Amino acid sequence: MENSSTGSLATTGLAPEAGPAQLTSQLRVALIGNPNTGKSTLFNALTGMRQRVGNYSGVTVERVEGRYRRSNGTAVSVLDLPGTYSLSATSPDEEIALTVLLGLAPDLPAPDVVVLVVDASNLERNLFVVSQILELGLPVVIALNQVDTAAAAGIRVDSVELAMQLQVQVVETVATKGQGIDVLKRAIERASALPLPERSFELPAPLFRAVQPVEAVLVQAGFHPSTAAMEALRLLAIAPEGHLAGIPGLEGEAERARTALEEAGYNARAVEAEVRYGWIAEVVEATVHRFGSAGSSRTDRIDAVLLHRVFGPLIFLLLMAIVFQSIFTWAEPLMTAVEGLVGGVGNLAGSALPEGDLRSLVVDGVIAGVGSVVIFLPQIVILFLFIGFLEATGYMARAAFIMDRFMRGVGLHGRSFIPMLSGYACAVPGIMATRTIENPKDRLATIMVVPLMSCSARIPVYTLLIGTFIPPIAVAGIFNLQGLTLLAMYFLGTAAALVVAGIFKKTLLKGPSQPMIMELPPYRLPNLRSLLLTVSHRAGLFLRRAGTIIFALTIVLWALATYPKTEVVADVTDGAAQEQQLAGSILGRAGQAVEPIVRPLGYDWKIGVSIISSFAAREVFVATMGTIYGVGSDADETSVALREQLLAETDAAGTPVYTPLIAVSLMVFYVFAMMCVSTNAVVVRETGGGWKGVKWAAFQFLWMFVLAYSAAFVVYRGGLLLGFAA
């Protein structure tokens, strides 16, 4: 039996790698399947490689590779392809998956074996992409995963019958428990020795006649006949883009085929789905058996409440309120402990080093700056514990479902929700997750608003200001004002994202939006280990960032806040001397230069300068304030926490400089402002790169800044008018 890795596209010249994989050489396996089938989990089980397990895309968009050893010692490399429902569209994810399978990806030969991960509890929907991949002329093994979930939902899939129907090996697995992995490995070994799968249904005569010439063009261009047949069906609905671009005569033949079909009374765009689902229905009929429905009805009963038109959103809000409240109540003791630790380290370093610039650099610059950010670790951990828990139980998918109603209200594609949800962690993966959106206008509109979702870099800013200036007053008995304020900030960002996206969709990026098929996984108990893994991963990233970029920035900020040295008039107190010194430094002068710009918002120059430095990244605001107050305070009080210093700060007349109103206005500013170089860079890249990308990124930066400034202005001035203390 000829090995297929050379088979699909031998003559295009695009696939330089040739020659069947020898038994001694490395075997290349590609994993593919619908999102949420357990592909990542299976990948981890196969390769033992640690990787984040989560419900949302953005993870598998990346090229993830791992390997394992066979019993004979040779390596098997495993490539985790992006999760995809079909290969019929032209989203970047699907294009990546298809190019890799066809061996057209640069520097990646076609896989020797494709492992199709299929969710046993959702066979019908999963079989669509299966039916397409079976036609690619590659050895295929089906991993029938989540048989436990299926059984709990009262579904049994007859895997022997499925293997007969599809003419490939089918292995039942439970990826989370590692069941079936060894069998799967053996099936992978055998796969290339078995006959290649092929299309197992016939096209209706008019369709067959219509696609013949298209197939001929593709075969001419070097495609394997079976692949050509699959691509020809695809081409009825899409334009020849990506790897199909530039094949002479292709679009002409495809257009003729479409016309011929329309004349024969078919809907050319829908005909592929029709024939494939026709075949799928037969396969499902023969292989899926339903017994009882105990499991699914429990999920249904829970959903009846959680997805209720009125109670659903209310419960969602309530849950979020509890989450945000716990960030303050639970994190407070931990935070105080970390604060004490940072203060202790500061004092230690202070007494170990001789008085002078070096000590000031270490204590006032680095420890005060980095320390002021690091103390927010407990909040980050608690927030992601909650989010990870809700995600793992299946509730986050419901939240997406609830939100979808509002999203459609503003004309946004339902698929935009997942990038927006990722945006709560960080806008960078959120923006990369927009690759799953096919329509370029929908994709741009989503990219434009993802940074409005409150990312975790804002948490230090919010919690510093809330913890310091918002009193923990009880509201309606069970809530407290701090948690509610934080909830309000998240809500504000989300609402603004929806409204702005709606405006874009009606003006600049006008176009129809398509509905999304959303899947609601059954509720399940979260896996503690993977939950902790996710949380520690995020905590690690937060700390790594504090230890690298923020660390370096605080050193530079310290230098800017220290030099040039001013001659201080002899007879002032220590504190006043430090204050003069700071005001004379480069940072101080820059601050005074920008003060007129931020004055209308009620901010002083210290806030102004912190805002400017936080253009690098939002949490640098906190680090800058920490450094400024570290440098500006006299040497004896190094260990005083930033929060207390902010409260104690008074102007010449003795009135407090920072008030709750200013804190709120500042938070509102951070809700809207686009202050993150990493995000800017990703936006440039994902909106086309080069000048085009730079223009979109600049546009986004500008409108967000204008929005932020105006909103902060309105809050501050409005607050003054309403009689809140300046």
Partner 1 sequence: MFESLTVVAIVLGALGYLGVRVSRTVRAARTAKEGGCGESCGCSDT
Ligand X SMILES: Nc1nc2c(ncn2[C@@H]2O[C@H](COP(=O)(O)OP(=O)(O)O)[C@@H](O)[C@H]2O)c(=O)[nH]1
Binding site for partner 1 (CB under 8 A): 52, 58-59, 62-63, 356-358, 361, 425-429, 432, 455-457, 537-538, 541-542, 545, 548-549, 551-553, 555-556, 559, 617, 619, 676-682, 684-685, 688-690, 693
How far apart CA 86 and CA 33 sit, in angstroms, is 9
How far apart CA 117 and CA 518 sit, in angstroms, is 19
Structure tokens at 403: 């939100």
Nearer to partner 1, 610 or 679 (CB): 679
**Residue from 90, 122, 146, 562 binding ligand X (CB under 6 A):** 146
**Residue from 149, 454, 485, 687 binding ligand X (CB under 6 A):** 149
Give the CB-side neighbour count of residue 259, counting CA atoms within 13 A. 6
Task: Choose among ligand X, partner 1, none what residue 52 binds, the Cβ cut-off being 5 to 8 Å by kind.
Answer: partner 1
Of 21, 20, 46, give the one whose Cα is nearest residue 31: 46
Burial of 12 (0-12, 13-18, 19+ CB in 10 A): middle
| DSSP three-state, residue 617 | strand
Residue 346 backbone phi and psi in degrees, to 5: -60, -45
Beta bridge partner(s), residue 65: 79
Bond into 564 cis (ω within 30): yes
To partner 1, the closest distance from the beta carbon of 463 in angstroms equals 14
How far apart CA 431 and CA 414 sit, in angstroms, is 15
**Residue from 4, 6, 40, 463 binding ligand X (CB under 6 A):** 40
Structure tokens at 460: 């230090």
To partner 1, the closest distance from the beta carbon of 637 in angstroms equals 22
Site stretch for ligand X (CB under 6 A), options 93-101, 105-113, 174-182, 532-540: 174-182
Task: Choose among partner 1, ligand X, none what residue 60 binds, the Cβ cut-off being 5 to 8 Å by kind.
Answer: ligand X
User: Judged by CB under 6 A, how many residues of this single chain contact ligand X?
Assistant: 21
To partner 1, the closest distance from the beta carbon of 424 in angstroms equals 9
Residue 246 neighbours by CB distance under 10 Å: 10
How far apart CA 172 and CA 150 sit, in angstroms, is 11
Nearer to partner 1, 331 or 373 (CB): 373
**Residue from 93, 94, 148, 172 binding ligand X (CB under 6 A):** 148
Nearer to partner 1, 127 or 427 (CB): 427
How far apart CA 603 and CA 605 sit, in angstroms, is 7
To partner 1, the closest distance from the beta carbon of 685 in angstroms equals 5
Nearer to partner 1, 511 or 689 (CB): 689
Site stretch for ligand X (CB under 6 A), options 51-59, 195-203, 634-642, 711-719: 51-59
Residue 192 contacts residue 159 (beta carbons within 8 Å): no
Chain position whose Cβ is nearest to ligand X: 38
- Does the footprint of ligand X cover residue 527 (CB under 6 A)? yes
Nearer to ligand X, 6 or 60 (CB): 60
**Residue from 15, 21, 46, 53 binding ligand X (CB under 6 A):** 53
Residue 83 is classified by DSSP as: P
Task: Choose among partner 1, ligand X, none what residue 148 binds, the Cβ cut-off being 5 to 8 Å by kind.
Answer: ligand X
How far apart CA 17 and CA 110 sit, in angstroms, is 8
Task: Choose among ligand X, partner 1, none what residue 145 binds, the Cβ cut-off being 5 to 8 Å by kind.
Answer: ligand X
Nearer to ligand X, 517 or 652 (CB): 517
Site stretch for ligand X (CB under 6 A), options 48-56, 569-577, 609-617, 682-690: 48-56
Structure tokens at 505: 């969709």
How far apart CA 188 and CA 198 sit, in angstroms, is 18
Give the CB-side neighbour count of residue 257, counting CA atoms within 13 A. 30
To ligand X, the closest distance from the beta carbon of 406 in angstroms equals 25
To partner 1, the closest distance from the beta carbon of 196 in angstroms equals 30
Tell me which amino acid residue 242 is: G
To partner 1, the closest distance from the beta carbon of 257 in angstroms equals 33
Structure tokens at 599: 């004055």
* Range 368-427, binding ligand X (CB under 6 A): 392
To ligand X, the closest distance from the beta carbon of 533 in angstroms equals 11
**Chain-centroid distance, C-alpha 474:** 34
Nearer to partner 1, 259 or 548 (CB): 548
SS (H, E, C) 419-484: HHHHCCCCHHHHHHHHHHCCCHHHHHHHHHHHHHCCCHHHHHHHHHHHHHHCCCCEECCCEEHHHH
To partner 1, the closest distance from the beta carbon of 83 in angstroms equals 16
Nearer to ligand X, 90 or 149 (CB): 149
Nearer to partner 1, 689 or 718 (CB): 689
How far apart CA 46 and CA 383 sit, in angstroms, is 31
Task: Choose among partner 1, ligand X, none what residue 58 binds, the Cβ cut-off being 5 to 8 Å by kind.
Answer: partner 1
Residue 448 neighbours by CB distance under 10 Å: 24
* Range 217-276, binding ligand X (CB under 6 A): none
**Chain-centroid distance, C-alpha 289:** 36
Nearer to partner 1, 14 or 216 (CB): 14
* Range 9-38, binding ligand X (CB under 6 A): 35-38
Task: Choose among ligand X, partner 1, none what residue 709 binds, the Cβ cut-off being 5 to 8 Å by kind.
Answer: none
To ligand X, the closest distance from the beta carbon of 381 in angstroms equals 20
Residue 58 contacts residue 429 (beta carbons within 8 Å): yes
**Residue from 101, 133, 162, 174 binding ligand X (CB under 6 A):** 174
To partner 1, the closest distance from the beta carbon of 552 in angstroms equals 4
Residue 190 contacts residue 137 (beta carbons within 8 Å): no
> What is the residue-wise DSSP string for 181-212?
HHHHHHHHHHHTTSPPP---S---HHHHHHHH
How far apart CA 36 and CA 57 sit, in angstroms, is 9
Site stretch for ligand X (CB under 6 A), options 54-62, 163-171, 299-307, 355-363: 54-62
- Does the footprint of ligand X cover residue 41 (CB under 6 A)? yes
To partner 1, the closest distance from the beta carbon of 40 in angstroms equals 13
Residue 336 neighbours by CB distance under 10 Å: 14
Residue 24 contacts residue 74 (beta carbons within 8 Å): yes
Tell me which amino acid residue 267 is: N
- Does the footprint of ligand X cover residue 83 (CB under 6 A)? yes
**Residue from 145, 585, 610, 679 binding ligand X (CB under 6 A):** 145
Task: Choose among partner 1, ligand X, none what residue 619 binds, the Cβ cut-off being 5 to 8 Å by kind.
Answer: partner 1
Give contact residues for ligand X (rule: CB under 6 A): 35-41, 53-55, 60, 83, 145-146, 148-149, 174-176, 392, 527
